[in-house]
């Protein structure tokens, strides 16, 4: 058979090592669990160490391979240590999902009431954290001959949702980072893409949202039902796989058709 696209292997993640920041909680937990089911070796890099340990143990108990490492993504030393431990354990890093984000603890309110130190904290986690994680995996991906990075943004950026201006701004910055980084690492065969999820009924989102806020979340969608973490998994796995091998610098919106671009 001629060389080319192999549908039997295009979506195969078996044996690949994927780091998931925030991988022990919320949507990140679902990414970790499904990646393990797809045969990937998963590194859960989460500040919530107990939750990460629990999910990693559940994956191992189910026959998968997982490593939990307590990580604050805005801390350069911890990020470098996390990637070094990944290399020591698994010998490679094929994928990185930059999922960790500061959102659920942020109060909703008018932009002029945001404390400057809170603004800085959001940028530290949501932008600097991605930069540090990408920088830490880069030399290993380059030496291997390639890799895949998936940055999680938010569909808020398409609509300019109010009341969390710092969060929306940081998630817009993720798109600029994705595009520019894709240009810089293309020669190293490293793909960098982004996903903009809609309002997703994860445990952390539910905990931070009032019933009144959640009531109107399905208005304007083509698919008029709540979005759940499983709705995002296919897109993320696609971007980690060979099926998207010639795709980089792009943003895929997954919100049931509420926003289109």
The residues annotated with a catalytic role in the active site are: 167
Got the DSSP string for the chain? --SS--TTTTT--TT-EEEEETTTSHHHHHHHHHHHHTT-EEEEEES-HHHHHHHHHHHHHTT-EEEEEE--TT-HHHHHHHHHHHHHHHS---EEEE-----TTPPP--GGGS-HHHHHHHHIIIIIHHHHHHHHHHHHHHHHT-EEEEEE--THHHHT--S-HHHHHHHHHHHHHHHHHHHHHGGGTEEEEEEEE-SB--HHHHHTS-HHHHHTTTTT-SS-S-B-THHHHHHHHHHHSGGGTT--S-EEEESTTSS--
């Amino acid at each position: 058979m001629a060389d080319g696209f192999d549908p039997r292997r295009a979506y195969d993640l078996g044996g690949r090592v994927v780091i998931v920041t925030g991988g022990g909680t919320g949507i990140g937990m679902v990414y970790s669990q499904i990646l393990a089911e797809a045969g990937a070796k998963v590194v859960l890099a989460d500040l919530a160490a107990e939750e990460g340990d629990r999910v990693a143990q559940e994956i191992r108990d189910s026959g998968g391979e997982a490593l939990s490492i307590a990580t604050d993504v805005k801390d350069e030393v911890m990020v470098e240590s996390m990637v070094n431990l990944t290399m020591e354990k698994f010998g490679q890093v094929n994928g990185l999902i930059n999922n960790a984000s500061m959102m659920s603890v942020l109060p909703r309110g008018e932009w002029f009431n945001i404390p400057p130190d809170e603004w800085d904290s959001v940028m530290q986690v949501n932008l600097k954290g991605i930069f540090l994680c990408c920088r830490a995996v880069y030399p290993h991906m380059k030496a291997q001959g390639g890799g895949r990075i998936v940055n999680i943004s938010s569909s808020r950026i398409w609509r300019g949702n109010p009341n969390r201006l710092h969060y929306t701004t940081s998630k817009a910055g993720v798109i600029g980072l994705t595009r520019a980084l894709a240009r810089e690492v293309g020669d190293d065969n490293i793909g960098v893409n982004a996903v903009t999820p809609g309002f997703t009924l994860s445990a952390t989102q539910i905990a931070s949202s009032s019933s009144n806020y959640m009531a109107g979340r399905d208005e304007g969608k083509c698919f008029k039902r709540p979005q759940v973490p499983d709705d995002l998994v296919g897109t993320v796995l696609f971007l980690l796989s060979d099926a998207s091998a010639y795709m980089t610098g792009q943003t895929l919106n997954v919100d049931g058709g509420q926003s289109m671009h």
